[in-house]
Chain A
Amino acid sequence: MSETSMLCELPVLEYDYKDLAPYMSEEQIRTHYGEHHQAQVNGANEILQKLGKARKEKTVDLDLPSTLKNLSFNIGGHLLHSLFWSNIAPEGKSSSKPDGKLAAVLTKEFGSVDRFKKEFTKAAISKEGPGWAALTFSRKTGRPSILQLEKHNTKICPMHSILLVADVFDHAYQIDYKNDRAKFIDAFFHLVNWGTVNKRLEKLIV
């Protein structure tokens, strides 16, 4: 909680830019991470600094609705991208399908892992415009849910824990797949780090 940690920071990737090929090219990930994600970190920090300044100077004419909406977009984008980078990994680095507690929870909810993949894919592909497909988990019911997020901040259950996200903004796949989002989602499943997803779940139920 030191002064220096009071701003958002771009997380360090656990792999090199080139490591996710052929499913995600070096150029695609470099642009996505270095420019798009960085822009959201900068955007969030600018707002945090603007708020800090207004409080210091006791400014009263802060436009809160637009400032907070903007903050939800940028800080939401930062958080979701951070989750995204750590729930993908070079193919072969992690188990190729869900295992452990995750496999049990998905099978219980969806009937099978295949049905889960089908629903998640459909949620990702049928999203109109930019957004995310997310697998969330409710501690109250012990059930996982798929959500289809609009942009970075809409159609979200507040406080719900997030286990897995797929970015379906154009910027996530345009370089590699042009407008073929379905092909990108197919590739995405080759990269999912099921070990991390399982760890996120275990943290919630243990």
Chain B
Amino acid sequence: MQIEQKNDSLSETSRAYELPKLGYDYKDLAPYMSEEQLRIHHEKHHQSYVTGSNGILQKLDKARKENAELDMRSTLKELSFNIGGHVLHSLFWGNLAPASKGSGKPTGTIAETISKEFGGFDRFKSEFTKTAATVEGSGWAALAYCKHTGRPLIMQIEKHNTNVYPKFPILMVLDVFEHAYYIDYKNDRAKFIEAFWNIINWNEVNKRFMAVTR
């Protein structure tokens, strides 16, 4: 309902990206994600993508107002990187929750769908883990949903914008940029991925799934 109003009015205030508030405190994901790690990741890294996206949007606005030429190639590449980073981080915070609040394992319809596609939760967990572990350099592991075939599909994103399935709804993401885990785990990405499974908000993942399959 809120989204509807926001978009319908197309008011000036809604024409920029905003850092979303977290649904928990910075300290709540410990010991799997420390307060310091989470704070820097949210306040600095994520904020920089929001600022970066809005900077490009303003640059576009200015060029259009002044009827100026634009270097489309580099501008649009930068835009896909920054907006991609913002979208993925927003999804990431939403699909995390304090370990005490989580169920540890998927519940509801998403549990059945994962089981059907992967032959069991353990197989899904091992494929998703492997996908995250094998991202070369910076990127994400994501669980997307294909509306055409009714299948959940794992996606391995490079940076924020490469090897993406266009338009596919995303149910869950895991950030494996070094900035996501370096303070807590140094270069031990595998340990970070293992920790991630303790702080997944499966309710949210199921909610996203219900919203796209409605």
A141 and B16 form a contact (CB under 8 A): yes
Please classify the interface of chain B as helix (H, G, I), strand (E, B), loop, or mixed, using the class held by over half of its residues. mixed
**Distance, CA A157 to CA B83, complexed state (A):** 6
Question: Nearest CB to that of A74 among chain B residues?
Answer: B165
Q: 8 Å CB contacts to A: which residues of B135-189? A: 135-136, 142, 146, 148-151, 153-157, 160-170
- Is B166's CB under 8 angstroms from A162's CB? yes
Q: Which residue of A lies closest to B146 (CB)?
A: A75
- Residues of chain B at interface, number, CB under 8 A: 61
Residues of B within 8 Å of A5, CB to CB, are 149-150
Say yes or no for B207: interface residue by CB 8 A criterion: no
Which residues on B sit within 8 Å (CB–CB) of A80?
A: 166
From B69, which residue of chain A is reached at the shortest CB distance? A122
| Contact-size category for A | 35 or more
| B-contact bits for A43-64, CB 8 A (1 contact / 0 none) | 0000010000001101010101
Question: When the two chains form the complex, which single residue of A55, A64, A157 contacts B131, counting CB atoms closer than 8 Å?
Answer: A64
CB-based contact B162/A141 at 8 Å: no
Instruction: Give chain B's interface residues, CB within 8 Å of chain A.
Output: 3-4, 6-8, 10, 14-18, 57, 64-65, 67, 70, 72-73, 76-77, 79-81, 83-84, 87-88, 91, 117-119, 123, 126-127, 130-131, 134-136, 142, 146, 148-151, 153-157, 160-170
Residues of A in contact with B (beta carbons under 8 Å apart): 1, 5-9, 48, 55-56, 58, 60, 62, 64-65, 68-69, 71-73, 75-76, 78-80, 83, 105, 108-111, 115, 119, 122-123, 126-128, 134, 138-143, 145-149, 152-162, 204-206
